[in-house]
Amino acid sequence: MNGNEVIRKLQAAGWRLDRINGSHHLMMKGNKIVPVPVHGKHDLGPGWVASIARQTGVPLK
């Protein structure tokens, strides 16, 4: 799963893109901000995906 796929799933769950800082897209919902690394079509590691899912509460698998 690459960063763009993660961002699409987060947006479907109500998260929005706050800003982009380099290759990190910062997603925001309420007052919580979670960084999502986007490196083209390269897949994120399983640790990154699990961490983002844990922080956002959105199942990403």
- What's the pLDDT tens digit per position in 22-57? 999 999 999 999 999 999 999 999 999 999 999 999
Q: How confident is the model at residue 61 (pLDDT cuts 50, 70, 90)?
A: confident
pLDDT of residue 56: 97
Short-list 39, 43, 1, 36, CA closest to 16: 36
Domains within the chain, CATH numbers bracketed: 3-56 (3.30.920.30)
> Residue 10: in which H helix or E strand, if any?
helix 3-12
3-state secondary structure of 46: helix
pLDDT of residue 23: 96
- Residues 32 and 39: their CA atoms lie apart, in Å, by 23
Taking the model in full, what pTM does it have? Answer: 0.93
